[in-house]
Amino acid sequence: MFTVDHQANRIKAVKTKTFSELGFTERKHLQEWLAHEPSALGEELLIIQKEFDGFDDTRERLDLLALDKDGNLVIIENKLDDSGRDVVWQALKYASYCASLTKLQIVEIFQQYINRYEKPSSGETSSFEERDASTQICEFLDAPDLDEVKINLGNSQRIMMVAANFRKEVTSTALWLLGQGINIQCFKVTPHSLGEQLLINIDQIIPTPEAKELMIGISAKEAEEKSTEVVLKNRHNVRRQYWEHALEVFQNSHCKLYNNISPSKDHWLSAGSGLSGCPYALIFLQKELRVEVSIARASQEENKFVFDFLYHRKDKIEEVFGEPLEWLRLDDKKSSRIQFSCKADGFNKEHWSDWVQWHLNYMTKFEKALKTPLQKASEALKNKNIEQG
């Protein structure tokens, strides 16, 4: 790592440090950094436990346990200046222990983590549901409820090892395990000092990024082939039938948002709002109906800007809508959401006419209340980007 001196047109090396000389420890520092910023390992991860020791007949404990976006368990083992000789064996043991964990056990493990470590920050209001393990897992995996969540299937467990330096016997074994189909990664973490500021660089050294891309491509092809053998679940058919009924009613109404939308097996049906990355959505769940606008552009900064712009006009929007709305800024997440919901026995077909009418009435009001504010938000966003550019 180097700094650039523009005046002299030269580069200067940033001083590399060791964790031991800086006084950092594995548990109090490296483990905490990754627990609070798991994206430093190159992907979205949901930390569900740390120092996990819930294994039968052994007192061993792993550093961090996480879920990836495919519902696979990820065992994260951290070392400081030296990986040691036995880190691979240790991680493999933990992966084998975790292979037997059921969905309900994993939810319970995460709930214990939430209850112990995830305390609302000062001034933050948080409902029980937002702190509920099942809800957070479903939201992370983009699933409507726990029944549809697939977690820890077969031998899908992954291993991530993090250290400042890896011994050759470790890297050699890791490369061999990769060849045998074991999903294992090595991350080299290097501290640097720049004056009084400390910088941390995290590089994936096994597999290399190029090799990882190839492996992901192969995995996607295998998953695609396997998916053709899977029969759609009953609830997928139920949703498709509901959307067919709903779209027929929408197309004969004054609401034209869904005129060119096809039925889906998913629990949502999206339509453009006029602002890219901010679609309107009808939500159809087993126990809830919802209309919402998801503010999910590529940039978190833009999402929060749009949300704040709309929230500033909250009173006027709710006056036009006719009801109070739920304003979910979701500060710790990339996207934000504005929604209106009601409880319903969604899969009871005898009431589908009522549910469709509810969706039609409130989406019509929703579009009326938000159409102009969203247009103004789009203009404000363009002006903001022009000024920054």
106 within a domain of the structure (yes/no): no
Same domain, 197 and 250: no
Same domain, 335 and 355: yes
Same domain, 218 and 252: no
By C-alpha distance, which of 6, 374, 14, 339 is closest to 194?
Answer: 14
Amino acid 209: pLDDT:
64
177 within a domain of the structure (yes/no): yes
Amino acid 212: pLDDT:
56
Place of tokens 């590089």: 203
CA within 13 Å, CB half, 144: 18
Same domain, 262 and 315: yes
Total number of domains constituting the chain: 2
By C-alpha distance, which of 109, 238, 93 is closest to 159?
Answer: 93
92 within a domain of the structure (yes/no): yes
Same domain, 246 and 210: no
The residue among 204, 227, 250 that closes a domain is: 227
Q: What is the pLDDT of residues 240-258, one digit of tens each?
A: 999 999 999 999 999 999 9
Same domain, 302 and 216: no
Same domain, 260 and 222: no
Same domain, 84 and 179: yes
Helices (H), the chain: 19-22, 31-36, 87-98, 103-117, 133-140, 168-179, 209-227, 234-251, 300-311, 314-321, 352-388
Q: What is the pLDDT of residues 307-324, one digit of tens each?
A: 999 999 999 999 999 999
Looking at residue 351, which CATH number applies to its domain? 3.30.1460
Burial (Cβ within 10 Å: 0-12, 13-18, ≥19) of residue 222: exposed
Q: Angle between the 133-140 and 103-117 helix axes, to the nearest 10 degrees?
A: 110
Mean pLDDT by 10 residues, the chain (389 residues): 87 86 88 93 94 78 94 94 86 92 94 84 47 91 88 92 91 89 92 85 83 53 48 74 95 94 94 95 95 95 96 97 96 94 93 96 97 95 76
Same domain, 220 and 239: no
Same domain, 35 and 168: yes
3-state SS assignment for residue 129: helix
The residue among 227, 246, 278 that closes a domain is: 227
126 within a domain of the structure (yes/no): no
176 within a domain of the structure (yes/no): yes
Q: Angle between the 168-179 and 87-98 helix axes, to the nearest 10 degrees?
A: 40
Amino acid 337: pLDDT:
96
Looking at residue 87, which CATH number applies to its domain? 3.40.1350.10
146 within a domain of the structure (yes/no): no
Same domain, 182 and 248: no
3-state SS string for 221-280:
HHHHHHHCCCCCCHHHHHHHHHHHHHHHHHHCCCCCCCCCCCCCCCCEEEECCCCCCCCE
The residue among 182, 199, 227 that closes a domain is: 227
Same domain, 162 and 14: yes
The whole-angstrom separation of Cα 81 and Cα 62 is: 18
The whole-angstrom separation of Cα 107 and Cα 309 is: 36
121 within a domain of the structure (yes/no): no
124 within a domain of the structure (yes/no): no
Domain of residue 81: give its range: 2-101+152-227
